[in-house]
Amino acid sequence: MALETTLILFKPDAIEKNLTGKVLARFQDAGFVIRGIKMMQLDDAILREHYSHVADKPFFPEIVAFMSRTPVIALALEGEDVINRVRDLLGPTNSKAAPAGTIRGDFGEDMMTNVCHASDSPEAAAAELKRFFKAGEIFAF
């Protein structure tokens, strides 16, 4: 297994329900290490870039409204095979299909209101980490 760093975004539903500590504890209990963490308000430009794969879809304005409703917490998380393992901890994107015991199964509501975004590949993680963290904001120690 490879040592990787992935991006996690705690979405507005996680912020509003005060779930960030519980979810972060699950990631840390799985042995992952925080390399960067910050709260930020997402604007239209970063949302259009991050969701460029669906920017032409009719539901895109709903995503923008939801993801800008509150600040989000961006997390750079490191660990062995972290990308796949975090996605397993989260469960399926659609929280209604996520089994109990997964983060989305325990705390999510649906496709959008699903607690966290997580990178789905090493390539996506590299691009997303650069999008949400400036040089010097991800630490190795």
Number of domains in the chain: 1
Catalytic sites, residue numbers = 117
Q: What is the CATH number of the domain that holds 91?
A: 3.30.70.141
CA 28 to each of CA 22, 51, 54, 94, 122: distance values in angstroms, whole numbers, following the listed order: 10, 27, 31, 23, 20
Mean model confidence pLDDT for the chain: 97
Round to whole Å and give the CA distance between 68 and 12: 8
Residue 137 lies in a domain: no
Give the tens place of pLDDT for each residue, 43-56.
Answer: 999 999 999 999 99
Residue range(s) defining the domain that contains residue 52: 3-132
- 1 pLDDT more than 80: no
Beta carbons of 34 and 76 less than 8 angstroms apart? yes
Round to whole Å and give the CA distance between 52 and 42: 14
Residue 55 lies in a domain: yes
Helix (H, G, I), strand (E, B) or coil at 15: helix
What is the percent of the chain where pLDDT is above 90? 97
H/E stretch holding 82 = helix 82-90
